[in-house]
Structure 1
Amino acid sequence: MIEEIKQIIEQDINPQLELHAGGCELLDVDDGIVTLRLYGGCSGCPSSQITLFNGIVPILKEKIPDIKDVVLG
Protein backbone atom coordinates (compact mmCIF):
# COMPACT_ATOMS: atom_id res chain seq x y z
CA MET A 1 0.00 0.00 0.00
CA ILE A 2 2.89 2.40 0.74
CA GLU A 3 4.26 2.32 -2.79
CA GLU A 4 0.77 2.73 -4.23
CA ILE A 5 0.17 5.82 -2.05
CA LYS A 6 3.52 7.30 -3.06
CA GLN A 7 2.66 6.80 -6.72
CA ILE A 8 -0.76 8.48 -6.31
CA ILE A 9 0.87 11.43 -4.53
CA GLU A 10 3.46 11.77 -7.29
CA GLN A 11 1.08 11.39 -10.24
CA ASP A 12 -2.27 12.77 -9.05
CA ILE A 13 -1.82 15.01 -6.01
CA ASN A 14 1.50 16.83 -6.24
CA PRO A 15 0.97 18.14 -9.79
CA GLN A 16 -2.07 20.03 -8.46
CA LEU A 17 -0.28 21.25 -5.33
CA GLU A 18 2.68 22.41 -7.43
CA LEU A 19 0.34 24.97 -9.01
CA HIS A 20 0.50 26.68 -5.60
CA ALA A 21 4.27 26.11 -5.16
CA GLY A 22 3.69 23.26 -2.72
CA GLY A 23 3.40 19.53 -2.37
CA CYS A 24 2.95 16.66 0.05
CA GLU A 25 4.88 13.59 1.08
CA LEU A 26 3.97 10.36 2.81
CA LEU A 27 5.26 10.10 6.38
CA ASP A 28 3.58 6.91 7.61
CA VAL A 29 0.83 4.37 7.11
CA ASP A 30 -0.45 2.62 10.22
CA ASP A 31 -3.58 0.45 10.30
CA GLY A 32 -5.20 2.33 7.41
CA ILE A 33 -4.29 5.79 8.75
CA VAL A 34 -2.14 7.74 6.29
CA THR A 35 0.03 10.54 7.67
CA LEU A 36 1.18 13.21 5.23
CA ARG A 37 3.34 16.32 5.45
CA LEU A 38 2.56 19.38 3.35
CA TYR A 39 5.55 21.44 2.21
CA GLY A 40 6.37 24.56 0.23
CA GLY A 41 3.47 26.91 -0.37
CA CYS A 42 1.09 24.41 1.24
CA SER A 43 2.93 24.31 4.57
CA GLY A 44 1.21 26.63 6.99
CA CYS A 45 -1.31 27.78 4.40
CA PRO A 46 -4.65 28.75 5.95
CA SER A 47 -6.38 26.61 3.31
CA SER A 48 -4.30 23.48 3.98
CA GLN A 49 -7.12 21.71 5.85
CA ILE A 50 -9.50 22.42 2.97
CA THR A 51 -6.90 21.11 0.52
CA LEU A 52 -6.48 17.98 2.63
CA PHE A 53 -10.17 17.16 3.11
CA ASN A 54 -11.57 18.33 -0.23
CA GLY A 55 -8.65 17.42 -2.47
CA ILE A 56 -6.20 14.87 -1.11
CA VAL A 57 -8.48 12.61 0.98
CA PRO A 58 -11.05 11.95 -1.78
CA ILE A 59 -8.32 11.05 -4.28
CA LEU A 60 -6.59 8.62 -1.93
CA LYS A 61 -9.82 7.00 -0.67
CA GLU A 62 -11.16 6.59 -4.19
CA LYS A 63 -8.01 4.86 -5.40
CA ILE A 64 -7.35 2.86 -2.20
CA PRO A 65 -10.63 2.05 -0.39
CA ASP A 66 -8.74 0.43 2.52
CA ILE A 67 -7.59 3.87 3.72
CA LYS A 68 -9.51 4.77 6.87
CA ASP A 69 -8.25 8.33 7.36
CA VAL A 70 -5.64 10.82 6.19
CA VAL A 71 -4.00 13.17 8.70
CA LEU A 72 -1.23 15.75 8.68
CA GLY A 73 1.88 15.04 10.67
Structure 2
Amino acid sequence: MRELYELIDLIRPAVQADGGDLVLKDVDADAGTVEVQLQGACSSCAISATTLQAGVQRILKERLPWVTEVSGGVDEEMDWETSAAMGRGGYTPAW
Protein backbone atom coordinates (compact mmCIF):
# COMPACT_ATOMS: atom_id res chain seq x y z
CA MET A 1 0.00 0.00 0.00
CA ARG A 2 2.92 2.31 0.65
CA GLU A 3 3.83 2.16 -3.03
CA LEU A 4 0.39 3.51 -3.94
CA TYR A 5 0.81 6.53 -1.68
CA GLU A 6 4.29 7.13 -3.10
CA LEU A 7 2.95 7.04 -6.67
CA ILE A 8 0.14 9.46 -5.84
CA ASP A 9 2.75 11.79 -4.33
CA LEU A 10 4.83 11.40 -7.50
CA ILE A 11 1.88 12.32 -9.77
CA ARG A 12 0.46 15.19 -7.69
CA PRO A 13 3.07 17.85 -8.59
CA ALA A 14 2.23 17.54 -12.29
CA VAL A 15 -1.45 18.09 -11.56
CA GLN A 16 -0.68 20.89 -9.08
CA ALA A 17 1.46 22.66 -11.68
CA ASP A 18 -1.72 23.17 -13.68
CA GLY A 19 -3.66 24.55 -10.69
CA GLY A 20 -5.31 21.32 -9.62
CA ASP A 21 -4.73 18.56 -7.15
CA LEU A 22 -5.06 14.79 -6.94
CA VAL A 23 -6.61 13.14 -3.89
CA LEU A 24 -6.77 9.44 -3.09
CA LYS A 25 -10.39 8.76 -2.07
CA ASP A 26 -10.68 4.99 -1.64
CA VAL A 27 -8.66 1.81 -2.07
CA ASP A 28 -9.77 -1.81 -2.15
CA ALA A 29 -6.56 -3.78 -2.59
CA ASP A 30 -8.41 -7.12 -2.59
CA ALA A 31 -10.57 -6.03 -5.53
CA GLY A 32 -7.73 -4.08 -7.15
CA THR A 33 -9.67 -0.82 -7.27
CA VAL A 34 -8.46 2.70 -6.60
CA GLU A 35 -10.65 5.81 -6.53
CA VAL A 36 -9.12 9.25 -6.95
CA GLN A 37 -10.48 12.77 -7.28
CA LEU A 38 -9.20 15.75 -9.22
CA GLN A 39 -9.69 19.13 -7.58
CA GLY A 40 -9.18 22.81 -8.28
CA ALA A 41 -8.65 23.88 -11.88
CA CYS A 42 -9.25 20.28 -12.95
CA SER A 43 -12.98 20.77 -12.41
CA SER A 44 -13.16 23.11 -15.39
CA CYS A 45 -10.46 21.46 -17.50
CA ALA A 46 -11.52 19.90 -20.78
CA ILE A 47 -8.92 17.14 -20.51
CA SER A 48 -9.48 16.05 -16.91
CA ALA A 49 -10.85 12.67 -18.09
CA THR A 50 -7.68 12.19 -20.14
CA THR A 51 -5.57 13.05 -17.08
CA LEU A 52 -7.35 10.30 -15.16
CA GLN A 53 -7.19 7.65 -17.88
CA ALA A 54 -3.97 8.33 -19.77
CA GLY A 55 -2.09 9.63 -16.77
CA VAL A 56 -3.15 8.39 -13.34
CA GLN A 57 -4.70 5.08 -14.40
CA ARG A 58 -1.87 4.18 -16.76
CA ILE A 59 0.84 4.89 -14.18
CA LEU A 60 -0.89 3.03 -11.35
CA LYS A 61 -1.67 -0.04 -13.48
CA GLU A 62 1.85 -0.18 -14.94
CA ARG A 63 3.62 0.10 -11.61
CA LEU A 64 1.26 -1.73 -9.26
CA PRO A 65 0.32 -5.18 -10.56
CA TRP A 66 -2.61 -5.51 -8.13
CA VAL A 67 -4.41 -2.45 -9.55
CA THR A 68 -7.09 -3.52 -12.03
CA GLU A 69 -9.31 -0.43 -12.08
CA VAL A 70 -8.87 3.26 -11.39
CA SER A 71 -12.00 5.36 -11.13
CA GLY A 72 -12.70 8.90 -10.15
CA GLY A 73 -13.84 12.26 -11.23
CA VAL A 74 -13.57 15.92 -10.43
CA ASP A 75 -14.59 17.64 -7.22
CA GLU A 76 -17.55 19.73 -8.32
CA GLU A 77 -18.40 20.75 -4.76
CA MET A 78 -15.28 22.82 -4.17
CA ASP A 79 -16.25 26.48 -3.84
CA TRP A 80 -15.05 28.80 -6.60
CA GLU A 81 -12.78 30.84 -4.32
CA THR A 82 -10.80 27.80 -3.21
CA SER A 83 -10.62 26.53 -6.77
CA ALA A 84 -9.47 29.92 -8.07
CA ALA A 85 -6.82 30.14 -5.36
CA MET A 86 -5.28 26.91 -6.69
CA GLY A 87 -4.56 28.53 -10.06
CA ARG A 88 -6.05 28.57 -13.52
CA GLY A 89 -4.18 25.75 -15.17
CA GLY A 90 -1.37 25.13 -17.59
CA TYR A 91 -3.10 26.84 -20.49
CA THR A 92 -3.08 30.27 -18.89
CA PRO A 93 -0.57 32.49 -20.67
CA ALA A 94 2.21 33.92 -18.51
CA TRP A 95 2.16 37.71 -18.71
TM-score by length of 2: 0.67
Q: How far, CA to CA, are the matches of 1:44 and 1:60 in structure 2?
A: 24
- Supply the distance in 2 between the matched residues of 1:21 and 1:45 (Cα, whole angstroms): 10
1:19 counterpart residue number: 17
Q: Does 1:59 align with 2:59?
A: yes
Mind listing any 5+ residue stretches in structure 2 that lack a counterpart?
74-95
Q: Any idea what SS the aligned residue of 2:58 has?
A: helix
1:51 & 1:59 partners in 2: Cα distance? 11
Root mean square deviation of aligned Cα = 1.4
Q: Percent identity?
A: 39
Separation of aligned partners in 1, 2:45 and 2:65: 28
Query: Deviating runs (4+, > 4 A) in structure 1?
Result: none
Q: Which runs of 5+ in 1 are unaligned?
A: none
**What is the rounded CA distance, in whole Å, between the counterparts of 1:53 and 1:4 in structure 2?**
19
Task: Name the structure where strand makes up a greater proportion of residues.
Answer: 1
How many positions carry a matched residue from both structures?
71
In the alignment, what sits opposite 1:32? Answer: 32
